[in-house]
Amino acid sequence: MGAASKNSRTSVTTHKFFCPCGGEIVMKTLFESGKLKNVAECNKCKRTERRPKDFK
């Protein structure tokens, strides 16, 4: 009996982050001055931070 491959054993989980205002935080990629920049933005209050855990 063959063993399952390593990739089939891993489970994919996605984290949902929420702003204190109650909106959901989504990650966006912006292209500014020749560089890619990842920012986290709240859908409800449009607040932007560098990463989701900075909203706390």
Q: Convert the pLDDT of each residue in 1-54 to its tens digit.
A: 567 777 776 666 677 889 999 899 999 999 989 999 999 999 999 999 999 888
Please state the pTM of the whole predicted model. Answer: 0.63
Burial class (CB in 10 A: 0-12, 13-18, 19+), 11: exposed
pLDDT at 38: 92
Integer Cα distance of 46 and 56 in angstroms: 15
Integer Cα distance of 9 and 7 in angstroms: 5
